[in-house]
Amino acid sequence: MKAVVVLSGGQDSATCLALAVKKYGAREVAAITFAYGQRHAVETKFAKRLAKRFGIGAHKVVRFGFYKDLTTNALFDPTIEIKDGRRKTKDARTPPNTVVEGRNAFFLTAAAVWAKTLGAKVLYTGVSQTDFSGYPDCRAVFIRAQEKAIRLALEFPIRIVTPFMKMTKADEWALAAKLGVFDLIANETVTCYNGIPGKGCGRCPACKLRNRGLKEYERSLRGR
Ligand code: ZN
């Protein structure tokens, strides 16, 4: 096995999976999904479907049942209304209340442990700091530090690959089209915090970001 993809079932991780499969072939790629108490838990169902569609034999859904004991946020508690962060300066914003504290630290560590078991030295994650600067553990500086920490913890030369770190959502749509998975990503992923597949509820921050990127991408096609 060459690579493990952290597969949430949303646009970013599904496009990551397409990239990894193109590079290594489905037989050399494994996928891992986390059920951690998210209100849009339906995404794990879509992750399973996506793994099947891409011909992934090794797909694991791992339950983080303890997460809700440690913290809360608008993704864990459906009675909290989802609110986007506010822009503080050009490059900084307050985090949205959907931040799950330490999520990527947990997920990447768990995924790396499984990757080592499989002998896979590459770990894909669809994080981006371009669009979501309110999420501290989506930043490149965190990913590099986490990679170093995991290497030391496991004595294993894992490499964390973040293809979208500097991409906009419009760039991602263009990449999906180039990979021939545009329709699959557009219709069979769940990016929406309210768990509605495809274009989603249209109101939550995740939907707004997804749909704005899609519009931008479509505009760029017309401008050609
Ligand atoms: Zn939504």
How do residues 83-124 score in pLDDT, each as one tens digit?
A: 888 877 776 778 889 889 999 999 999 999 999 999 999 999
Q: What pTM was computed for the model?
A: 0.95
- List pLDDT tens digits, range 40-85: 889 999 999 999 999 999 999 999 999 999 999 999 999 999 888 8
Sequential DSSP letters for 78-93: TTSPP----B-SSS-B
Give how many domains the chain has, as a whole number. 1
pLDDT of the residue at 133? 59
Q: How far is the CA of 25 from the centre of ligand 1 (A)?
A: 32
Q: How confident is the model at residue 141 (pLDDT cuts 50, 70, 90)?
A: very high
Domain that includes residue 78, residue range? 3-222
Q: How far is the CA of 199 from the centre of ligand 1 (A)?
A: 8
pLDDT of the residue at 139? 93
| CATH number of the domain to which 120 belongs | 3.40.50.620
Strands 3-6 and 29-35: parallel
Q: How far is the CA of 90 from the centre of ligand 1 (A)?
A: 25
